[in-house]
Amino acid sequence: MMRRTATIGLIELPELGLFDSYGRNRASVRRGSTLISKQVLLANLQNYGYDAQLVNLKDGDYEGAYGEVTWGGTKLTKVYVGRNIFELKADEYDIWGVTNNFSQHREVACFTIQHLVRQGKPVIVGGSDAIAEPEMYLQAGASAIITDKSGGSNRSAIEYLLGNIPKEELGGVILADGSHYSQRGHVLRPEDWALPSVEVARACLGTEYWSAEYPGELLAIGSVFSDIGCDRKCDFCQTPNYGLGYRRMSPQRTLEWLAKQKEAGARSVVGSSDQFMARVLREEGRDEILEIMKGARELGLAMLWPNGLELRKATIGRGLNRPGTDLTPDEELINAVWGWDGNAGTFHAYMPAERPLDGRDNYAKLLPWQEHCELLRAIVRSGLPALSYGIIIGFEDETESSLLRLEEAIMQVHADLMSINPNLIFQVSPFAISPIPGTGQGKSLRELGLLRFDDPVLYGGLWTPSVDTRCLSYERIAEWQIRLLNIGSEKGKSAFINTDFSPAPDAVRSQQRVW
């Protein structure tokens, strides 16, 4: 007798808001973002033969309040927006999947799990936050938590919950009773991931981009995840904990993904790799990057790099941490990766910033200051139209003096780059240090006693400061964020980071929420 095809509902969680009494949202907003991980997951599960479908809870205008928090003397209401979680009917699918990579969405993820489990359906949970803090999700009723970021454990977990295989065949998963099953069998490479259908790719397209006002002619926005894992072990990052090493997609396969995005209607594509530039550490890796970027241009696509490409790897010495490594900009590689001809190439890139004097130890993996500035100049000369200069502030040793010096340095960088291209869209993204779960940095901030708010909706957004320094309060760090954010171009100003912390005008009525 033929077995019925199992149905799986994959949930994209709703968007969040933190509203004050005037209706102003103090949280970052990503309602129209491209659905990066869902595209990979849907494609793989459908390839396995499951009837997997996207359940997009961002798609709607329902607002559900679920709590309050006081920050900086202001009471904020936690609200999710999209579809009403509690109207989900669990019997629509045999199994449900919830993915959460960000602590900010943890509470809403847990509400969703609880609602579905109460109706008698199993829920599989994945994502960075669930791997780092599995207890929270198990308490909510998760049937299984996937700890294998490559996707290699998904099928066995599903088959176990369907009653088709015994526990002994599991790997890379934590079950509801807390039992851990270590990774076993095949860890997938991005090369192994199934190509999405046009329908899946289209369902996962984005209509907004986080870093700047986005040109309509570059919509819609697709995504490709061509590299997973990293060669680094930064203490603020969860990636080293996944135990994957570094795994890449071949140029041919990457271009097949890009072509599929274009076929689905994308005019630009988010390169969401953990470490795209890590390819240069292999002998043929530099040529792979040149081939991929050439292919993207031939497809007429604009590339977006919001995760930050490691600048040190764009040097003649490929960023190797050895004495005497040549840190001269690799002009050919830079032109390939960041160049823009007005129609194709790279339209926007997030740049990991430097600390010219103070705080150097926190940026030890990057470039010395002068070499950093020279590389930025080379990148802007390549034609890059839009640049987000990303900095982290609020380190343990941060002071008023260190921030003044940082401000002066960024203003000089801005002036220098604008002299090369007066039309450059230059934005500063001053993120607050955050106790990201599962990281050395998160552990250290808690041990130092500097964490003022242990509420994931605050610290999980990476914008709202939740940590004091030894000399400055979290409120002062917030003031510095706004001050630094105002360096740069008025044209193309990002609305992703909400900066309106001033008293509300009389025209704004109480509870008139503005997204």
Read off the pLDDT of residues 219-278 as tens digits, 9 standing for 90 and up.
999 999 999 877 666 666 766 666 667 789 999 999 999 999 999 999 999 998 878 999
Domain end residue (candidates: 162, 181, 200)? 181
Q: Give the alpha-carbon dihedral of 127, 133, 135, 136, to 10 degrees.
A: -80
* Nearest residue to 427 via CA among 353, 515, 342: 353
- Answer yes or no: do 165 and 202 share one domain: no
Q: Is residue 491 part of a domain?
A: no
pLDDT tens readout for residues 275-292:
899 999 888 999 999 999
Are 104 and 461 contacting, i.e. CB atoms less than 8 angstroms apart? yes
The pLDDT of residue 440: 76
**493 vs 174: which has the higher pLDDT:** 174
Residue 289 phi, psi dihedral angles, 5° rounding: -65, -45
- Answer yes or no: do 219 and 139 share one domain: no
Sign of CA dihedral 458, 463, 464, 469: positive
Mean pLDDT confidence for 421-438: 89
Kindly tell me if the per-residue pLDDT of 505 is higher than 80. Answer: no
The pTM score is 0.92
Q: Which residues contact 67 (CB under 8 A, 6 or more apart)?
A: 77, 78, 107, 457
- Answer yes or no: do 438 and 383 share one domain: yes
Are 128 and 113 contacting, i.e. CB atoms less than 8 angstroms apart? no
Structural domains counted in the chain: 2
Kindly tell me if the per-residue pLDDT of 507 is higher than 60. Answer: no
Kindly tell me if the per-residue pLDDT of 447 is higher than 50. Answer: yes
Residue 195 phi, psi dihedral angles, 5° rounding: -70, 140
Collapsed DSSP state (helix, strand, coil) of residue 198:
helix
- Answer yes or no: do 458 and 312 share one domain: yes
pLDDT tens readout for residues 4-47:
899 999 999 999 988 888 887 877 767 788 999 999 999 999 99
Percent of the chain residues topping a pLDDT of 70 = 88
- Answer yes or no: do 175 and 197 share one domain: no
Residue 189 — pLDDT band, cuts 50, 70, 90? very high
- Answer yes or no: do 400 and 470 share one domain: yes
Which domain covers residue 42, as residue numbers? Answer: 7-147+153-181
Kindly tell me if the per-residue pLDDT of 404 is higher than 70. Answer: yes
Q: Letter for the amino acid at 210?
A: W
Percent of the chain residues topping a pLDDT of 90 = 64
pLDDT tens readout for residues 309-319:
889 999 999 88
Q: Which residues contact 116 (CB under 8 A, 6 or more apart)?
A: 88, 90, 96, 123
User: How high is the mean pLDDT of the chain?
Assistant: 88
Look up residue 126 and give its two tokens.
Answer: 């994945």
The pLDDT of residue 359: 55
Collapsed DSSP state (helix, strand, coil) of residue 340:
strand
H/E run at residue 52: strand 51-56
C-alpha R_g of the chain: 23
Tell me the C-alpha distance between 394 and 22, whole Å.
Answer: 28
Q: Is residue 495 part of a domain?
A: no
- Answer yes or no: do 283 and 171 share one domain: no
pLDDT tens readout for residues 123-154:
999 999 999 999 999 999 999 999 998 899 99
- The CATH number of the domain holding residue 48 is 3.40.50.280
Q: Number of C-alpha atoms within 13 angstroms, CB side, residue 364?
A: 8
Are 200 and 163 contacting, i.e. CB atoms less than 8 angstroms apart? no
Cα distances (angstroms) measured from residue 347 to each of 67, 196, 254, 384: 39, 24, 19, 6
- Answer yes or no: do 306 and 266 share one domain: yes
Residue 501 — pLDDT band, cuts 50, 70, 90? very low
Residue 213 — pLDDT band, cuts 50, 70, 90? confident
Kindly tell me if the per-residue pLDDT of 297 is higher than 90. Answer: yes
Of 168-172, 257-261, 498-502, highest mean pLDDT: 257-261
pLDDT tens readout for residues 457-466:
888 776 788 9
Residue 502 — pLDDT band, cuts 50, 70, 90? very low
Mean pLDDT confidence for 378-407: 94
- Answer yes or no: do 131 and 202 share one domain: no
- Answer yes or no: do 66 and 130 share one domain: yes
- Answer yes or no: do 446 and 314 share one domain: yes
- Answer yes or no: do 355 and 472 share one domain: yes
Tell me the C-alpha distance between 96 and 83, whole Å.
Answer: 16
Kindly tell me if the per-residue pLDDT of 484 is higher than 80. Answer: yes
- The CATH number of the domain holding residue 251 is 3.80.30.20
The pLDDT of residue 242: 62
The pLDDT of residue 109: 98
